[in-house]
Structure 1
Amino acid sequence: MLFHSIPHWRYAWLVTASLIAGVMNAMAGGGSFLSFPAMLGVGVLPVQANATNTVALWPGQLTSVAALRSDLRRDLLPVVVVASITGGITGAVVLLHTRQITFLHMVPWLLLIASLLFGLSGPVSRWLKNRSATPHVERKIAIVPVFLALLPICFYIGYFGAGAGFLVMTVLALFGVEEMHALNSMKVLAACLSNLCAVLTFILSGAVVWRYCLVSMVFAGAGGYVGAQYARRMNANVLRAIVVVTGCIIAAYFFWKNGSLG
């Protein structure tokens, strides 16, 4: 493969993918659809590629939590935090114990599922906004059922993560959270905390390829800054469609690649 024989092309490919991934994450999400395959493209093993990509993209999530902290529902913080920590660590540990070839064969399915989740996020988001617009009375939330519903989502975030954010919003809405800003802030907190636990697990286990991680982190951050300047000017439906199409194309590529490998 050309990228393997010419080292500087590895970094050029990773830089470009990370930059675009940062822009995508700032505008609509789905940057992992590019940055994760880029890690594979420069020769990182599948499990380590996912771990490295998670670490590289996490700082951008932290800034989002800081910006939305005033919208957090204080009564839900304990259950969201515990579910995020438990699910994030468990998902990361299971990933690290997944065989490389097994995870490689799971990659196209994970990408396809994440793409479909992004596609569903549009109508679900519209439903949540319409629901939030109607007068409502804040209700007491059943903590144990919410925890049990959030746990598998946070596990998925720790294991792979792409496209899971709106599932957190949907679960909280179904259990009675009706204010859109609260839903969005709790979604960002759950994703950030689950990924933080995964990040720490990956770092402590030595699964991060730092020379690629730091390159991706810097340029994804730069892309995120650029994307944030234009996010409000772009049509959300168009952005979501671009993310879904990109994810499906990359999933199709990995289905073909896995098929060719037998």
Structure 2
Amino acid sequence: MFNAVDIHQAIILIVIGLIAGVINTLAGGGSNLSLPALMMYGLPADIANATNRVSVLIQSITAARGFHQHGKIEKTAVKDSLMPLLAGGLTGAIAASYLNVDLLKPILLGTMIVVSLWVVFKSDIKPEAQSEPKSCYDNKFAFLATFATGFYGGFIQAGVGFVLLATFVGVLNYDLLRANAMKVVATVVFTSIALLVFVFRDQVAWLPGILLGIGSIVGAHVAVKFAVEVKAKTLKIMVLVMTVFASAAALI
């Protein structure tokens, strides 16, 4: 178990947390950096997957608070998606917690690459929605898509920001800025329940998780300030840049 770190390791984890916080808040894929970093320092795949949730939760709470202060989060939208996200997150976390560690590592790394490449080559994240946002209860597909993002986030987390953006923009018709805001709220929801599962299973290495979290707080603050001040077209370009960066990290 990763019980202690030296100064050099601590600095690296904080810096990686900062970068991951920016990437996750603006788009997704920050875990493509933080997960391999945790495994590089000796954590087994299941412990790394669980430990990564500490920083993800911290940065998501920070980002959600920032978007809320700028009036980009609507309470009705949060309540609307709460149950499918919680149910999906709980189911996914339990599946990941009990999956054989020898199977989990290739699943983690393989999924990071596949989701990242899918976003780069196939997704079409619109800068503006054409009508009012939909409810996830409007049809079965919208509900299942919301549940599936919660499951994916609870199970692996890496790249879930891409999946959430695709769901909120492509399925529920949010504009990109509000989709980013709802994305971090959704991440708080399913990461909270997932982290409880991993804590109960004693799979969290707290020190490296907190070090990543320290950096991610700064990264989330920077990203929120940038996201609310730029034009939608610029934000779309930044999402693409973050996506390419995260995809490259997954392929290294």
1:151 aligns with 2:147: yes
State the shift of 1:83 in Å. 0.6
CA RMSD of aligned residues (A): 3.3
State the shift of 1:138 in Å. 7.5
Matches within 5 A, 1:42-53: 42-53=41-52
> Displaced runs of 4+ in structure 1, greater than 6 A?
137-140
Contact 1:22 1:223 in 2 (8 A): yes
1:95 aligns with 2:82: no
CA gap 1:74/1:214 in 2 versus in 1, 3 angstroms: closer
State the shift of 1:180 in Å. 5.8
The Cα offsets for residues 220-258 of structure 1, whole Å up to 9 and x where unpaired, read as: 2233334555555795455444433433333333xxxxx
State the shift of 1:65 in Å. 2.7
CA gap 1:47/1:224 in 2 versus in 1, 3 angstroms: same
The Cα offsets for residues 11-57 of structure 1, whole Å up to 9 and x where unpaired, read as: 34323322322333344443212111111111111111111111122
Aligned to 1:25: 24
Contact 2:27 2:165 in 1 (8 A): no
Corresponding residue pairs, total: 242
The Cα offsets for residues 98-152 of structure 1, whole Å up to 9 and x where unpaired, read as: 11111111233111123135426873233xx1x43xxx57777526543223111
Distance 2:80 2:224 in 1: 30
TM-score by length of 1: 0.75
Contact 1:115 1:243 in 2 (8 A): no
Contact 1:169 1:184 in 2 (8 A): yes
Name stretches of at least 5 consecutive residues in structure 1 with no aligned partner.
1-5, 254-262
Aligned to 1:257: none
- The alignment-based identity, stated in percent, is 23
Aligned to 1:258: none
The Cα offsets for residues 70-96 of structure 1, whole Å up to 9 and x where unpaired, read as: 555555544411111111111111111
> In structure 2, what residue type is equivalent to 1:42?
Y
Aligned to 2:14: 15
Matches within 5 A, 1:151-170: 151-170=147-166
Name stretches of at least 5 consecutive residues in structure 2 with no aligned partner.
none
Aligned to 1:124: 125
Distance 1:233 1:220 in 2: 21
TM-score by length of 2: 0.78
Distance 1:222 1:172 in 2: 25
CA gap 1:47/1:63 in 2 versus in 1, 3 angstroms: same
The structure number with the bigger radius of gyration is: 1
Contact 2:116 2:247 in 1 (8 A): yes
